[in-house]
């Protein structure tokens, strides 16, 4: 390890953030800038018959844009071309954008928005997975299925037919979850015919926005520029939607002849309109021997994609691949489907499909353990993957793996055995109305794009040296709070062997940085970080080859001298490096077999809960998170990622429920969509087992998403341990716990219910 990698270097932009000097998109004012807003559909599904503008408003003072004003193609293409920037003809979900307005006065704008009326002839609606699968109303294709994957290993039917196995079945569900980044979406655009389009905004993937804007205006790449402003959280929520918002702001500016237009969503609009985590339903059928050996898994995994395909197929892919978990099961069949409904499209959120399928599996395994009379930790221990074993995609685990030891550690740190015993005594006493329980989950998360994804992305990173040996990293990877600026600087400083202070990371701006791929999929550190390391090393080689830098060690001054000499001779010193697939990573998209990911993060989490049997509310009272994410580039940032991910997952498990009414989020306020506060989080105790990954920068893997996968099942397992009632749907809100307890309470209650 070098001088900086492995150290908790302070966040590069820390001072700007603690002083309030960082400029987020809403803090930026351009000369002559006006404000934009969006008129949206009130109905979930229907045909637009007219748009009426109330004559009470002086509309000539406003910039007005409808689908008819789009200069190019009115469609955002994530995977297929189906989602319009502005609906025309058919409305497919509530709150779909139809008309854009702009005006210099925000308050007049907000009032005017209420005076645009969209006339719609309603069409039949579908709001949940089961209705979509029944196909009584067709929203997409012949069967409402956006995408289906079939993944098989071994001979599942033969395994179920064996006479020495017990068969355990269960069905599990998860609800939508809002990312709830504290900075709502926002964008500023300057666009005009002849001048091209520039947008500045809160976003994760500058080149996704770039790709979306080109066809919208029919412009070549060089006439579209996307700049990321300081971004107040993303978690996947600012992966795809910013393309639409950027399009809206740019359409208004284009119509206004190049006047800068700013659109900032308020919280209610952000919650109602932007993407959330896909709701899911997973059915499990498992064959297990009486001594707890998993013989076969048969899994039916379905995601609610919402009204448009967006990137649901990719979310589904990750969920499907993770559905069998880190277990050695010789026979597996997973059918994954993403289906259409009339909800706003669901999208990327930390974990990207894996938390949903892992929730189902880790809840189910507790039931499997009970069926064969084993403690939950023992069932898992008997089936965990080891080096040389194969995953459900038949990928052989080549790297060292330590999951059994991680499980033992997590149990010991949490005090599993002692607490379980003490809680059994506590819970048996009827005087104690608060019941306590413990639950666990063991799981994995693939780092980087699935299968051949990274090969197709072919990411590029640049490193540029300037006068005095100041080095700038050029990458499209965005700092969204996770520490990109800091870890890239650490990696580059070590590879260049210069002080951390001499390295800066350029603001992501498509006019300046190459396409290093999207900031998603826990790929920034492992994949892009490795490219930063490669480019930095190549820069040093370049200086040596040009004989400005001698072999062996050098000081910062010598480095600066070498750079200055090079610049004087050649003008610029900028080196790019491009992604190379590690050897042995071979994936077959047709059969869904092969090496799904170059590396996995591994983890064992333990949750302790208390359930108040009078109020039916659950609280997490302790949380232990043990994981292997390879070498830690920055231990403080890594722990911060785990703590933040665990807290979000606690929210998903017991606090955060979206109240859908006819496809519209009815609780679209922070007041009634509840995320964990400082008073709600337990101690989150984070431990790392660091097994270096051969192809990551200095051995690092991904960390961002892993901590989202395990907490929810661990917590619901703990709730079942506490109250003896199984809850199979997350979130488990007090009303859900009450319902489950009353349903389990016996004949009197159910007679009343059925009465």
Partner 1 sequence: MAEVAFGKVAITFTVNGVERTVETYPMARLLDVLREELRLTGTKEGCGEGECGACSAFVDGKLVNTCLVPVIQARGATIETIEGLATGDELHAVQQAFIDAGGAQCGICTPGMVLATVALLREHPDPNEAQIREGLAGNLCRCTGYIKIFDSVATAARAIRAREDASGHGGGAA
Q: Segment contacting partner 1 (CB under 8 A): 5-13, 365-373, 436-444, 455-463?
A: 5-13
Q: Minimum distance from CB of 20 to partner 1 (Å)?
A: 2
CA distance 311 to 497: 40
Look at residues 729, 744, 723, 747 and name the one whose alpha carbon lies nearest to residue 170.
729
The footprint of ligand FES on residues 499-518 (CB under 6 A) is none
3-state SS class at 334: strand
- For helices 635-650 and 711-723, the axis angle rounded to 10 degrees is 50
Nearer to partner 1, 179 or 516 (CB): 179
Nearer residue to partner 1 within complex by CB, 460 or 647: 647
Of 504, 577, 497, 492, the closest CA to residue 544 belongs to: 497
Contact 205, 518 (CB under 8 A): yes
CB closer to ligand FES out of 84 and 640: 640
Residue 182 makes contact with ligand FES by CB under 6 A: yes
Residue 98's closest CA among 226, 251, 209, 312? 251
Window 30-89: residues binding partner 1 (CB under 8 A): none
| Least distance from ligand FES to the Cβ atom of residue 34, Å | 23
Nearest-angstrom CA–CA distance, 77 and 219:
16
Q: Within positions 390 to 449, which residues make up the interface with partner 1, using CB under 8 A?
A: none
What, of ligand FES, partner 1, none, does residue 87 touch, CB below 5 to 8 Å by kind? Answer: none
- What angle in degrees, to the nearest 10, is found between the helix axes of 529-545 and 556-570? 70
Nearer CB in complex with partner 1: 168/730? 730
Across the strands, what pairs with 172? 282
Q: How far is CA 42 from CA 66, 68, 97, 247, 422, in A?
A: 16, 20, 10, 21, 54
225: number of Cβ within 10 Å: 20
**Under rule CB under 6 A, residue 233 binds ligand FES:** yes
The interface mask with partner 1, positions 669-698, x = CB under 8 A, is: xxx---xxxxx-x-xx--------------
- Pairing status of strand 165-174 against strand 729-730: parallel
Q: State which residue has the least CB distance to ligand FES.
A: 182
Q: Give me the least distance between CB of 32 and partner 1, in Å please.
A: 15
Per-position x/- string for 616-655, each x denoting binding to partner 1 as judged by CB under 8 A, each - no binding: --------------------xx-xx--xxxxxx-------
Residue 203 in contact with partner 1, rule: CB under 8 A: no
| Smallest separation, CB 649 to ligand FES (Å) | 16
What's the number of CA atoms in the CB half-sphere (13 Å) around residue 652? 33
Binding to partner 1 by residue 17, rule CB under 8 A? yes
> Rule CB under 6 A: is residue 481 a binding residue for ligand FES?
yes
Contact of 652 with 712, CB cutoff 8 Å: yes
Cα 157 to Cα 148, 285, 295, 331, 357, distances in angstroms: 21, 11, 11, 9, 22
Task: Output b/e per residue, 436-468; b: 16+ Cβ within 10 A.
Answer: bbbbbbbbbbbbbbbbbbbeebebbbbbbbbee
Shortest reach from residue 277's CB to partner 1, in Å: 14
Partner from ligand FES, partner 1, none contacting 206, C-beta within 5 to 8 A by type: none
Nearer to ligand FES, 70 or 638 (CB): 638
235 vs 600, beta carbon nearer ligand FES: 235
The H-or-E segment that residue 9 falls in is: none
CA 56 vs. chain centroid, Å, equals 44
Instruction: Identify the residue among 4, 5, 6, 11 touching partner 1 (CB under 8 A).
Output: 11
Pick between residue 481 and residue 697 the one whose CB is nearest to ligand FES.
Answer: 481
Closest distance between partner 1 and the C-beta of residue 316, in Å? 25
Among 1, 182, 400, 455, binds partner 1 (CB under 8 A): 182
User: If you ran DSSP here, which 8-state letter would residue 192 be given?
Assistant: E
Asked if 183 interacts with partner 1 (CB under 8 A), we say yes
Largest CA distance in the chain: 91
Query: Is residue 20 involved in binding partner 1 (CB under 8 A)?
Result: yes
150 phi/psi in degrees, rounded to 5: -120, 120
Stretch that binds partner 1, among 72-80, 224-232, 564-572, 611-619 (CB under 8 A): 224-232
Whether 737 and 609 have beta carbons less than 8 Å apart is answered as no
Query: Closer CB to partner 1, residue 114 or residue 121?
Result: 114
| Nearer to partner 1 among residue 356 and residue 668 (C-beta) | 668
Residue 640 engages ligand FES in binding (rule: CB under 6 A) = no
CA distances from 285 to 47, 108, 725 (A): 42, 58, 20
Contact stretch for partner 1 (CB under 8 A) within 72-80, 397-405, 480-488, 557-565: 480-488
Residues 256-315 within binding reach of partner 1 (CB under 8 A): 266-267
Footprint of ligand FES (CB under 6 A):
182, 233, 481
User: Under the rule (CB under 8 A), what is the footprint of partner 1?
Assistant: 8, 10-11, 13-24, 26-27, 29, 179-184, 230-235, 266-267, 480-483, 636-637, 639-640, 643-648, 669-671, 675-679, 681, 683-684
């Amino acid at each position: 390890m070098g001088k900086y990698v492995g150290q908790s270097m302070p966040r590069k932009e820390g001072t700007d953030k603690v002083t309030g000097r960082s400029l987020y998109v809403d803090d930026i004012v351009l000369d002559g800038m006006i404000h934009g807003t969006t008129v949206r559909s009130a109905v979930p599904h229907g045909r637009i018959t007219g748009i009426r503008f109330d004559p009470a408003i002086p509309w000539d003072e406003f910039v007005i844009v409808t689908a008819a004003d789009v200069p190019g193609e009115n469609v955002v293409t994530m995977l297929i071309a189906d989602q319009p920037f502005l609906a025309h003809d058919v409305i497919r979900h509530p709150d779909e954008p139809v008309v854009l307005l702009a005006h210099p006065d925000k308050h007049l704008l907000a009032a005017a928005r209420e005076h645009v009326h969209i006339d719609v002839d309603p069409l039949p609606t579908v709001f949940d997975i089961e209705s979509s699968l029944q196909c009584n109303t067709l929203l997409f294709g012949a069967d409402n299925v956006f995408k289906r994957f079939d993944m098989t290993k071994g001979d599942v039917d033969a395994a179920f037919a064996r006479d020495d196995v017990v068969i355990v079945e269960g069905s599990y569900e998860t609800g939508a979850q809002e990312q709830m980044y504290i900075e709502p979406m926002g964008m500023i655009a300057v666009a005009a015919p002849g001048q091209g389009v520039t947008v500045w905004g809160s976003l994760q993937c500058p080149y996704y926005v770039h790709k979306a804007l080109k066809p919208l205006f029919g412009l070549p790449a060089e006439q579209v520029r996307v700049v990321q402003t300081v971004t107040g959280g993303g978690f996947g929520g600012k992966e795809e939607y910013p393309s639409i918002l950027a399009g809206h702001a740019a359409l208004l500016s284009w119509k206004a002849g190049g006047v800068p237009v700013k659109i900032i969503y308020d919280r209610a609009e952000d919650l109602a309109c932007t993407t959330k985590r896909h709701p899911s339903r997973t059915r499990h059928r498992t064959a297990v021997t009486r001594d707890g050996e998993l013989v076969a898994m048969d899994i039916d995994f379905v995601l609610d994609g919402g009204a448009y395909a967006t990137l649901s197929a990719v979310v589904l892919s990750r969920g499907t691949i993770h559905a069998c978990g880190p277990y050695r099961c010789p026979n597996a069949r997973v059918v994954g489907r993403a289906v259409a409904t009339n909800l706003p499209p669901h999208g990327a959120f930390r974990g990207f499909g894996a938390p949903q399928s892992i929730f189902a599996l880790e809840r189910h395994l507790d039931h499997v353990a009970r069926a064969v009379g084993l403690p939950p930790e023992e069932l898992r221990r008997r089936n965990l993957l080891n080096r040389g074993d194969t995953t459900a995609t038949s990928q052989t685990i080549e790297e060292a793996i330590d999951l059994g030891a991680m499980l033992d550690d997590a149990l010991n740190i949490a005090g599993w055995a002692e607490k379980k015993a003490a809680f059994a005594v506590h819970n048996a006493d009827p005087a104690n109305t608060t019941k306590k329980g413990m639950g666990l989950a063991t799981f994995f998360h693939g780092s980087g794009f699935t299968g051949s994804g990274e090969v197709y992305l072919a990411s590029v990173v640049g490193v540029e040296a300037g006068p005095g040996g100041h080095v700038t990293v050029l990458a499209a990877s965005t700092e969204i709070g996770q520490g990109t600026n800091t870890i890239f600087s650490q990696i580059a400083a070590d590879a260049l062997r210069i002080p951390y202070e001499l390295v800066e990371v350029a603001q992501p701006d498509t006019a300046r940085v190459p396409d290093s791929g999207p900031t998603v999929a826990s790929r920034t550190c492992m994949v892009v970080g490795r490219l930063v390391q490669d480019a930095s090393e190549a820069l040093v080689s370049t200086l040596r080859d040009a004989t400005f830098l001698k072999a062996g060690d050098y000081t910062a001054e010598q480095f600066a001298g070498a750079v200055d000499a090079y610049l004087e001779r050649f003008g610029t010193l900028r080196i790019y490096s491009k992604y190379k697939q590690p050897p042995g990573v071979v994936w077959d998209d047709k059969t869904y077999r092969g090496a799904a990911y170059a590396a996995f993060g591994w983890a064992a989490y333990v949750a302790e809960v208390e359930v108040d049997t009078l109020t039916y509310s659950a609280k997490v009272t302790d949380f232990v998170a043990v994981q292997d994410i390879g070498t830690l580039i920055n231990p403080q940032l890594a722990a911060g990622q785990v703590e933040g991910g665990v807290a979000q997952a606690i929210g998903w498990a017991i606090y955060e429920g979206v109240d859908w009414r006819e496809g519209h989020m009815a609780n679209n306020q922070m007041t009634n969509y509840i995320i964990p506060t400082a008073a709600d989080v337990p101690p989150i105790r984070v431990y790392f087992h660091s097994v270096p990954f051969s192809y990551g920068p200095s051995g690092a893997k991904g960390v961002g998403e892993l901590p989202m996968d395990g907490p929810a099942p661990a917590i619901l397992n703990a709730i079942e341990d506490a109250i003896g009632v199984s809850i199979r749907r997350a979130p488990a809100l007090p009303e859900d716990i009450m319902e489950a307890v009353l349903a389990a309470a016996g004949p009197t209650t159910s007679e009343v219910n059925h009465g």
